Amino acid sequence: MTAAAFLSGCMNDLDLFADSKVDNTIRTSAAANGNGERLSDEVTVRNAVSSADLAQAAGNPIPWANSASGSAGVISAIAENRDEAGRTCRDFVTTKHSYQGIANYSGRTCLGNSGEWLLLSFDLQG
State the pTM of this model. Answer: 0.70
pLDDT score at 34: 57
pLDDT score at 126: 81
Q: Alpha carbon of 31 to those of 19, 66, 71: distances in Å?
A: 25, 16, 13
Model confidence pLDDT, tens digit, residues 71-116: 999 999 999 999 999 999 999 999 999 988 999 999 999 999 999 9
Categorize the per-residue pLDDT at 36 as very low, low, confident or very high, splitting at 50, 70 and 90.
confident
Mean pLDDT across the chain: 82
Q: Are 42 and 49 in contact (CB under 8 A)?
A: no
Q: Alpha helix locations (H) across 1-126?
A: 2-10, 34-51, 54-57
